[in-house]
C-alpha cells in the first residue's frame, strides 16, 4: 500500500529534524533481521540514549538533499535504518557492536559525522575509537610506564647488592 503524501512529508520532516538536532548519524542495513532482534537492537540503543528510525530510502535521500552536508553520500543499499545520537562516537560504536554480534544481518553503510558524509570504512574506524575512559587509562599507562621501569630497575639493583 503506497504511503500518502501527508505521511511522506511527515517522514521527511522527521528525518530533517534528526539531521538538524543530532551530532552523528549512521546509515544501517538491517537485512533479514527478525522482529525480535530488531526489538533487542532498539532497546539496547535506547539504553545508550540513541535513536533508531526506519524510513524509505527515497524519503531519506530527499531529506539529505536539502540538508547541505559536505562530502559524497554513501550508497544506501538494502533496507535502511538511521541510528543517531548527540554523542559523536556512540551511534557508530553501538551499531558496530551489533554488526559483529548479529553476523551480517546488521551492517554499517556509512554515516554523517560532524557534518560530513563518511563511507562504511570511515564509520567503522570511528566505531573502534576507544571511549574517553579507555583513552584516559591508556594515557595513564603511558605516564606510569617509565616510573614503573625505574622502580623495577632499582629493585633489581637492591636485590643484587643484597645477595652479595
The pLDDT tens digits along the chain (164 residues) read 577 888 989 999 999 999 988 889 999 999 888 888 889 999 999 999 999 999 999 999 999 987 888 989 998 988 999 999 988 899 999 999 988 888 778 999 999 998 899 999 999 999 998 877 888 888 888 888 888 888 888 888 888 876 66
C-alpha distances in Å from residue 40, one per residue of 35, 36, 160 = 9, 6, 60
Measured over the CA atoms of residue 6, residue 15, residue 54 and residue 39, the dihedral's sign is negative
pLDDT at residue 15, rounded to an integer: 92
The beta strands (E) that lie in 30-127 are given as: 51-54, 80-85, 107-113, 116-119
Specify the CATH number for 5-129; select among 3.40.50.970, 1.10.3720.10, 3.40.50.880, 3.30.70.1730: 3.30.70.1730
pLDDT at residue 163, rounded to an integer: 67
Q: Give residue limits of the domains in the chain.
A: 5-129, 130-164
pLDDT at residue 132, rounded to an integer: 79
Distance in angstroms (rounded) separating the CA atoms of residues 85 and 50: 5
Cβ 107 vs Cβ 28: under 8 Å:
yes
Amino acid at each position: 500500500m503506497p504511503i500518502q503524501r501527508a505521511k511522506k512529508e511527515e517522514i521527511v520532516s522527521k528525518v530533517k529534524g534528526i539531521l538538524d538536532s543530532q551530532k552523528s548519524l549512521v546509515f544501517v542495513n538491517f537485512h533479514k533481521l527478525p522482529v525480535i532482534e530488531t526489538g533487542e537492537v532498539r532497546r539496547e540503543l535506547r539504553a545508550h540514549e540513541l535513536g533508531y528510525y526506519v524510513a524509505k530510502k527515497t524519503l531519506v535521500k530527499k531529506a539529505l538533499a536539502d540538508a547541505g552536508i559536505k562530502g559524497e553520500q554513501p550508497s544506501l543499499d538494502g533496507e535502511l535504518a538511521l541510528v543517531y545520537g548527540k554523542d559523536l562516537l556512540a551511534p557508530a560504536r553501538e551499531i558496530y557492536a551489533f554488526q559483529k554480534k548479529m553476523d551480517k544481518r546488521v551492517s554499517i553503510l556509512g554515516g554523517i559525522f560532524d557534518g560530513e558524509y563518511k563511507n562504511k570504512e570511515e564509520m567503522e574506524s570511528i566505531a573502534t575509537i576507544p571511549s574517553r575512559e579507555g583513552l584516559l587509562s591508556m594515557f595513564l599507562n603511558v605516564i606510569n610506564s617509565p616510573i614503573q621501569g625505574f622502580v623495577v630497575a632499582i629493585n633489581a639493583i637492591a636485590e643484587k647488592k643484597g645477595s652479595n
